[in-house]
Amino acid sequence: MTQPDRRTFLQTAAAGAAGLWLQPELAAAARLRPGQAPLRLAVVGAGRQGRAAIAELVKLETAQVVAVCDTVPSRLRAGVRRVQGAVGHESPEKLFAAADTFDAVVVATSTHAHKEPVLAALAAGKHVYCEAPFAPNVADSKAIARAAKGSKVVFAAGLLARSNPIYKLAWGFHRAGVLDRLLVLRAQDHDRTSWQFPGEDQATEQAFNWRLDPARAAGLPGELGTHQFDVLHWYTGEYPALVRGQGAVRAYADGRTVADTVHCSLEFGSGVRLHWDATLGNGYEGRYEVITGALGAMRLAETAGWLFKESEAPTQGWEVYANRESFHDDTGITLIADATKLAKQGKLKEGVGLPNPPLYYGLADFVASCTNNAPVACTAEEGHRATAVGLKAQEAVLTGKDVPITEQDLRVD
């Protein structure tokens, strides 16, 4: 797309006065057209993420969860209980034997179990939403993306920033040049969680704790970093060429071999670097991305975002109307979707944050793509590239060596 130059941007922004020129509006939930039936969905995987997906899908008038699939009986029962009339299936094979009862599939299994239901759904001609990362290895991730690219159905990768109204607003500002040239990229994902869950028997405990099995999961860089790396791929329009990493078990002395604390440095061809770290041992400041340029910085934190301007940055006119928040010695302008509309109503502060979790917007976009034949927010190719970068970052953590990220790693063909 053609980017407006800075003068054009500043003039247009100032003319907007009450709001933030590039903001996407928080569209009202889609309604069924007369005679239109809701999209019938099957959710594969009824663990935490699968149940979260069900909770968001039932909010959509244009969607109907008709089937739930999980190989763990207790999770299957928990998933089915959340949707009146949904049919439970004990395996993907049993689910796809009843493929005529649904139109689309949401794959929310553990990472290593994505490939089988995705390929089965595509072979059956069903639309697919697949959580990211796609797989714990590059070969399986490519297989998923290749199959999706070769199909005639809708396929959406579950990288939620691209559907998030706040991130889309911030992307518009960045592409218009508000930050000027990029200097530093930084991100973190800090949480206080062990990734270890008890099960009623050995089999269910093994199923619940897949993240601690190197053969079934992609470590912190793959499972968490993939999502944040994609934000920077999207914003910069490029992918890292090299990654360095280190990690250790620092928080949980329970015999695990998967690092619970990691740090990675990703180098882009343009010379900019992304510094990313994650830990399961402390939740201070949670998860966020910071994009720093010569004239400003943006901090994005899933359900909220802020713009911090340098003192010499041009005044654009709308700042006087903007909501502000303090961060230590800095003051950030809150990025609010629907800012213009809310300002006119005198409700600007009520627009801080999102009314729904980020997952809602990703699933809503997927359903809209299926029902309206519209482009998806995140393609299979982008889903694979983010997965591949996450896997290469995990390789760097495991080996302690510089790991190149080649064009072949990122290619789907």
Domain contains 364: no
Q: Are 265 and 386 in a shared domain?
A: yes
Q: Which of 390, 359, 411, 366 is nearest to 135 (CA)?
A: 390
Q: Name the token pair of 401.
A: 């060596």
On whether both 221 and 156 belong to a single domain, the answer is no
Q: d(Cα 179, Cα 249) in Å, to the nearest integer?
A: 37
pLDDT per residue over 136-177, tens digit each?
Answer: 999 999 999 999 999 999 999 999 999 999 999 999 999 999
Indicate if 282 and 167 belong to the same structural domain: yes
On whether residue 32 sits in a domain, the answer given is: no
Domain identity same for 195 and 154: no
Please indicate, yes or no, whether residues 219 and 169 belong to a single structural domain of this protein.
Answer: yes
Domain of residue 102, CATH code: 3.40.50.720
Q: Give the end of a domain, one of 144, 160, 176.
A: 160
The DSSP element (H or E) to which 128 belongs, if any, is strand 127-131
What whole-number distance in Å separates Cα of residue 267 and Cα of residue 371?
A: 39
Residue 34: inside a domain: no
Helix residue ranges, H only, 86-160: 92-96, 115-123, 138-149
Residue showing tokens 């003319």: 15
Residues 119 and 45 in one domain: yes
CB atoms within 10 A of CB 34: 5
Q: How many domains does the chain have?
A: 2
Q: Are 241 and 393 in contact (CB under 8 A)?
A: no
Instruction: Name the residue type at position 52.
Output: A
DSSP 215: T
Note if the bond before 133 is cis, omega within 30 degrees: yes
* Whole-angstrom distance, CA of residue 204 vs CA of residue 156: 29
User: Is there a single domain that holds both residue 191 and residue 110?
Assistant: no
Pair 11, 74 in one domain: no
Q: What is the pLDDT of residue 26?
A: 57
pTM (two decimals)? 0.91
Among residues 142, 160, 178, which one ends one of the domains? 160
Residue 99 lies in a domain: yes
For residues 156 and 171, membership in a common domain is answered with no
Q: Which domain holds residue 392?
A: 6-24+162-356+378-407
29 falls within a domain: no
Q: Are residues 47 and 79 in the same domain?
A: yes
The ranges of the chain with pLDDT < 70 are 1-29, 316-321, 338-352
pLDDT at 140: 98
Same domain, 248 and 326: yes
146 and 185: one domain? no
Residue 298: C-alpha distances to residues 3, 11, 181, 288, 359 (Å): 19, 21, 13, 10, 22
Whole-number CA gyration radius for the chain = 22
